[in-house]
Every structure is written in structure tokens, then in C-alpha cells.
């Protein structure tokens, strides 16, 4: 596959994207030449959107500077739509977020140009939309759980420069995936519209009609997996299940152009702060979002012959998928890698473990190793030497180390949410006890033990240094961490994780 | 072998003991000790302790000192004992002098081993420098 265009709609879309980016950074395989995320969210200051954009920028910077064939970290190329588009398209956003669909600080009423409408139309609109909750609503913080507003506003997306650029670029070798939630406002409204605009494009896109009707299209719709605190006067109320039912009924009848549709939700729901939108809407990472990210990967791996559509853009063999877990009945709220089915555990376990140990080494030991020891991986036998000043260089200080912090924060959020997904024991200092539920192999000549320390880790880095020829210092650092953790994983952890 | 090592050691060693050392085959044994002990010491360090925790000069220095000290003690105490059994009586300082000379060779051999062996290790490539 050439490119995967990933539309992430609303706050949930951005949170799923966050999980996907962390998985890709850790080296989880996504079989595409380029991933092109397009975030659609009119909530300009949404905390989750901002967080994902910051993460994507960091990913790109690290990859551009330090990725090499020797590193499995940051392997997948992630590009902005504006970076791959041919020629200039006026108004095209040069960010991961699609350009503004609404004006700044605009009410829904302004957007509709309500005051210029005739009396009959105004009356009809007043019948459909409440004056206080809808017509006077400020669109700059999204639709606050009102998909019937979102459908009107987001329908404009098909006229945007971003959609035009997407249509120009999409080809028969590409795939499209849409991530949204079914129970909120933005995602619930944007998802069916986007499907409609792709499978039944506007006449302006006549030349791409055939491609848009045939290009494999997958989608993930998040069913409720968290609740919101009851807050008098808030536009967001805990009516997620009712909204879900009515949306599902609509999807069943009208969304027949989707080749693979993934349903994901969790009846084990924790209530989060009731924030209708804006910077304060920054929900913590949730295990369901990590699983949703796996749906993107699963779709990318689906064989092409299962993703056919007819000339009308209707999927010939639509598939509908869910995700299962091996939940411990005595402790259903607590998950680790052990609770994943073996295929999922194999898919993400080794990569997450490698990235976690790489971050531990980078944060706790790297400075000392660079400053005080004559290690081959530092002095360089094949590769370039690594200077102690690397720690303060912009690449490490401003990019890689902050990325590791973001990865660590993500793990903490996953572990503290409900359900909690805690693949690592974040409290213990014992390196061999870090992977929850995995007993590491005992090794040693005189006394077999599973204990190991950073000196052992340095040994793995020394082992792989001979493969570091021709790399820059930044590339070498990332390749060392990738290959060193691979050795560590194979020697000590693999049997316990997969056995 | 006794003759070979006698020639070698006497390049930098001269003493009233030399004839008796030769007659009692001391040169042959001392020569083997001054070669085998540092070679064995370097082998143990570079291949038995090829771990990242032993990177640097400290572990190398310890193994170097132990090797040289072992060589020094053997080449001092063993000839003294062997010559005493043969009824030959020399001052202890004569044996210490002889042992010091063999230790110089041990130092050279350990250094040669350092340069040869370290390139075949994973972690100790830059030990001691």
C-alpha cells in the first residue's frame, strides 16, 4: 500500500491518533509507505487535539533527524497532507489539523447566516435547533455533543482546501481510514458525512469519482467507553448510550460504502470531567484508544481482495469487527500485556517493552555512560563516537527526551484510567520486574538470576555497536537503543512474554 | 627452552647467580611463568570478564597488577626454594632482582596481550584506553 489517509474526527479521533503515534514510535509495523493523518475538529483549542499535534510534530522531527534502516523506532513515515500534495492549493492547512471549517468565535447562527434567511426558513430552523443550546452556541469549541449541528457545519469540509488536496492526492493504491466516536458531537456528525463525501463526491471532483468509489475505506467508531460527571447546565450530559443507539440505526441503513467497520467500546466506564470543549478537554489516555489504534493497523494489513467495492461505491464484502480481551474475572479493571490475545500481545508487546526500556536507559543512565565510561558504543568501534554533549544537544534535549516524557505520561495515563492498562510496573526500580506478568529469564555463570542492571544494558549496546557504521550521532543513538533493546528483549523477556 | 629463556632474560639481567640458574633449569621454568601468567591473566580479563560493568581502566589495572604480582612472587619464591634444595645459598635480594627482571617481561607481554585481545572483545575494546 502506498498511503493511508487517516481522518481523525473530534477529541476521540485525536486521542486514538495519540495512541497510534506512540505505537508507531515504538516500532509497531504499519505496512504503508506514508501515513497521512488529517485531524478534523472545529474545537480550535481542544486539549487532546493540541496534544496529538504536538506529538506528531515531535515524531516527525525525531524521524527526520535520527531514523535509519537500523532502527525500528519511528519507522513509519508520517507526513502532513500539505507535504505530499502536488502544487499549491490556496488555503491548504500546513498543519496536521485540517484548516478552519468555521470562522473564529462564530456562533452556529452566524455560520448559517440566519439573519439573512427568509422568515419561513428561520422558523424551520428554530423548530430544529434550540436558541440557547444550538443557535447561540459558539462553534470554536465544537458541537458540544450536538451532532445535528455538526452535520451542517462539517458538510462544509468537502469544499475546503484540505479535502480538495486529499481528493487530488488519493490514488487506487491508497487506503482511507476514519476514526470517530459515535456518542459525542463532532465525530458522530463528521463520520457519516465524510463517508458520503468520499463515496459520493461532489461534482467538482468528477475526475476522481472512480478512485473515490473504489479506494478501500475503513472506519472505527468508538462506542461509549467513558462517562461524564453530571454537571447542571452543561451541554454535555451522560446520554451517550441513547445517542449511540440512534446513530447505529442510521449507520446500519446508510453507511454501505465502508469495507471494514470496527466497533469498539467498553461497558466498564469511568466518569471524566465534564468539559464540553476547549483546552480543558484533555481526557486521559484510555486502553480503548490503544485498541482503536490497532484497528488502523489491522485495516492496513487487510488483503486488498477483501476490500472491493462496486461501481456505486458499495462494499462487496463488508466486514464488521470487534475486539476481545482475556479479562481476569477477579480483577476486570486491571489489564496488562498478559490480558491481550497472543496475536495482539505479539503485535505490540515487544515494541512497547523495547521503547520503555530505551526510555529508562535514556533518562536514567545515558548521561553517565557518555560521560564516564570507555564503552565501545560511546567511543565507537565502527560508528561515530557519542559525545557527552549529546545530552544537551537540541536533538536529545528538545526532541528525543521530551518525546520519552510524553511516552511515559501516556503509560501513566493508561495505567491510571479505568480500565487500567498497565503493561509496566512504573514504581519498581528493579529492571527485571518492570514488565507486569512476565518473569524474565534467569542468567549467570555461577548464580542464575533474573536481576540485571544498566551495565548489562550497556553490554547489549556494545554488542550492537559494530552495526552502526555510516550513521550520524543521532541516527546511531536511536539505532543503538532500538537494537540494544531488541537484544535485551530476545535474551531475557521474549520467552516470558510469548511462551 | 632453558637456553632460549636464559639468553632472553640475560639481555637485561646480569648477576653472580646466572650460571647456577642455568644449571638448575630455573630460566626455563621462570621464562614459561613470565609468559604464561600474563597471557592467562589477560585472557581471563578480556574473555572471562567481557562485561560492560568492567569497562574502563580500573578492572584492567586490577587484572594487570594481579598478573604481575603473581609472576613476581612465583619467580622469586620458586627459584629461591629450588636453589636452596640444591645447596646454593644466595641473598634474598638476588632472587628479588631476578624476579623483578622477569616481571618486566611480564609487563611487556601483558601489554602485547592487551593490544591483541581487546580487539576481539565486545565490551572491553577501549579498556584500558
β partners of residue A78: A35
Nine cell digits for residue A479: 539505532
- B55:A375 CB<8 A: yes
**Angstroms from A343 CA to nearest CA on chain B:** 35
**Angstroms from B35 CA to nearest CA on chain A:** 28
Kindly list the structural domains of chain A, giving each domain's residue range(s) and its CATH number in brackets, ordered by start: 3-104+143-323 (3.40.50.1440), 339-498 (no CATH)
Contact A277, A43 (CB under 8 A): yes
Instruction: Report whether pLDDT(A358) > 70.
Output: yes
d(CA A237, CA A258): 30
Give the angle subtended at the CA of B80 by the CAs of B77 and B81, to the nearest 5°.
85
pLDDT, tens digit (0-9, with 9 covering 90-100), for A26-42: 999 999 999 999 999 87
For residue A376, list chain B residues with Cβ-Cβ distance below 8 A.
122-123, 125-126
Confidence of residue A346 (pLDDT cuts 50, 70, 90): very high
Give me the pLDDT at residue A103, please.
Answer: 47
Establish if B128 touches chain A: CB-CB under 8 angstroms: yes
Number of C-alpha atoms within 13 angstroms, CB side, residue A130? 6
**Angstroms from B61 CA to nearest CA on chain A:** 14
Give me the pLDDT at residue A285, please.
Answer: 94
Number of cross-chain residue pairs from A and B with Cβ atoms under 8 Å apart? 46
For residue B56, list chain A residues with Cβ-Cβ distance below 8 A.
372-374
**Angstroms from B128 CA to nearest CA on chain A:** 8
d(CA A46, CA A220): 21
Query: In this structure, what DSSP letter does residue A149 have?
Result: H
- A376:B53 CB<8 A: no
Give me the pLDDT at residue A102, please.
Answer: 47
Give me the pLDDT at residue A384, please.
Answer: 93
* Nearest residue of B to residue A373, measured between CA atoms: B56
- B125:A462 CB<8 A: yes
Give me the pLDDT at residue A279, please.
Answer: 58
Contact A67, A74 (CB under 8 A): yes
Give me the pLDDT at residue B71, please.
Answer: 97
Establish if A375 touches chain B: CB-CB under 8 angstroms: yes
- A375:B126 CB<8 A: yes
Confidence of residue A100 (pLDDT cuts 50, 70, 90): very low
Amino acid at each position: 500500500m502506498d498511503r493511508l489517509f487517516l481522518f481523525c474526527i473530534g477529541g476521540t479521533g485525536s486521542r486514538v491518533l495519540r495512541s497510534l503515534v506512540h505505537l508507531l514510535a515504538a516500532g509497531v509495523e504499519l505496512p504503508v509507505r506514508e501515513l497521512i493523518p488529517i485531524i478534523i475538529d472545529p474545537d480550535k483549542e481542544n486539549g487532546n487535539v493540541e496534544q496529538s499535534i504536538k506529538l506528531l510534530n515531535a515524531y516527525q522531527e525525531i524521524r527526520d533527524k535520527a531514523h535509519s534502516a537500523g532502527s525500528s523506532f519511528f519507522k513509519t513515515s508520517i507526513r502532513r497532507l500539505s507535504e505530499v500534495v502536488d502544487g499549491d492549493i490556496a488555503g491548504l492547512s500546513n498543519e496536521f489539523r485540517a484548516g478552519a471549517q468555521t470562522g473564529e468565535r462564530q456562533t452556529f447562527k452566524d455560520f448559517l447566516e440566519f439573519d439573512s434567511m427568509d422568515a419561513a426558513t428561520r422558523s424551520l430552523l428554530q423548530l430544529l435547533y434550540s436558541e440557547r443550546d444550538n443557535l447561540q452556541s459558539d462553534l470554536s469549541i465544537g458541537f458540544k455533543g450536538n451532532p445535528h449541528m455538526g452535520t451542517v457545519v462539517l458538510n462544509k469540509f468537502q469544499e475546503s482546501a484540505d479535502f480538495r488536496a486529499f481528493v487530488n492526492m488519493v490514488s487506487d493504491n491508497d487506503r482511507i481510514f476514519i476514526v470517530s466516536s459515535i456518542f459525542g458531537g463532532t465525530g458522530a456528525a463528521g463520520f457519516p458525512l465524510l463517508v458520503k463525501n468520499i463515496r459520493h463526491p461532489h461534482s467538482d471532483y468528477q475526475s476522481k469519482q472512480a478512485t473515490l468509489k473504489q479506494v478501500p475505506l475503513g472506519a472505527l467508531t468508538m462506542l461509549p467507553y467513558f462517562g461524564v460527571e453530571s454537571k447542571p447546565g452543561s451541554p454535555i450530559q451522560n446520554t451517550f448510550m441513547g445517542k449511540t443507539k440512534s446513530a447505529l440505526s442510521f449507520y446500519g441503513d446508510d453507511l454501505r460504502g465502508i469495507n471494514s467497520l470496527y466497533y469498539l467500546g467498553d461497558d466498564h466506564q469511568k466518569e471524566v470531567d465534564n468539559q464540553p470543549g476547549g483546552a480543558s478537554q484533555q481526557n486521559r489516555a484510555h486502553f480503548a484508544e490503544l485498541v482503536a489504534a490497532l484497528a488502523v493497523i489491522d485495516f492496513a494489513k487487510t488483503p486488498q481482495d477483501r476490500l472491493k467495492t462496486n461501481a456505486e461505491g458499495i462494499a462487496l464484502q463488508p466486514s464488521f469487527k470487534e475486539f476481545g480481551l482475556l479479562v481476569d474475572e477477579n480483577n476486570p479493571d486491571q489489564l496488562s500485556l498478559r490480558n491481550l490475545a497472543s496475536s495482539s500481545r505479539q503485535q505490540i508487546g515487544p515494541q512497547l517493552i523495547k521503547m520503555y526500556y530505551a526510555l529508562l536507559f535514556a533518562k536514567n543512565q545515558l548521561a553517565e555512560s557518555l560521560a564516564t565510561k570507555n564503552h565501545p558504543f560511546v567511543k565507537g568501534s565502527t560508528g561515530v563516537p557519542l559525545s557527552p554533549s549529546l545530552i544537551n544537544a537540541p536533538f536529545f534535549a528538545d526532541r528525543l527526551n521530551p518525546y520519552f516524557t510524553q511516552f511515559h505520561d501516556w503509560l501513566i495515563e493508561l495505567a491510571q484510567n479505568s480500565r487500567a492498562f498497565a503493561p509496566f510496573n512504573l514504581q519498581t526500580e528493579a529492571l527485571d520486574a518492570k514488565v507486569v506478568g512476565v518473569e524474565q529469564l534467569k542468567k549467570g555463570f555461577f548464580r542464575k538470576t533474573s536481576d540485571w542492571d544498566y551495565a548489562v544494558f550497556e553490554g547489549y549496546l556494545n554488542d550492537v555497536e559494530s552495526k552502526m557504521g555510516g550513521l550520524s550521532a543521532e541516527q546511531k543513538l536511536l539505532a543503538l537503543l532500538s537494537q540494544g533493546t531488541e537484544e535485551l528483549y530476545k535474551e531475557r523477556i521474549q520467552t516470558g512474554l510469548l511462551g | 627452552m632453558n637456553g632460549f629463556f636464559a639468553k632472553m632474560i640475560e639481555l637485561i639481567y646480569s648477576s653472580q647467580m646466572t650460571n647456577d640458574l642455568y644449571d638448575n633449569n630455573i630460566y626455563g621454568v621462570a621464562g614459561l611463568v613470565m609468559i604464561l601468567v600474563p597471557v592467562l591473566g589477560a585472557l581471563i580479563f578480556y574473555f572471562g570478564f567481557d562485561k560492560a560493568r568492567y569497562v574502563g581502566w580500573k578492572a584492567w589495572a586490577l587484572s594487570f597488577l594481579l598478573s604481575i604480582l603473581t609472576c613476581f612472587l612465583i619467580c622469586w619464591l620458586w627459584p629461591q626454594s629450588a636453589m636452596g634444595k640444591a645447596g646454593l645459598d644466595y641473598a634474598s635480594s638476588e632472587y628479588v632482582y631476578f624476579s623483578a627482571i622477569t616481571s618486566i617481561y611480564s609487563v611487556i607481554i601483558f601489554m602485547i596481550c592487551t593490544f591483541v585481545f581487546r580487539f576481539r572483545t565486545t565490551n572491553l575494546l577501549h579498556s584500558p584506553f
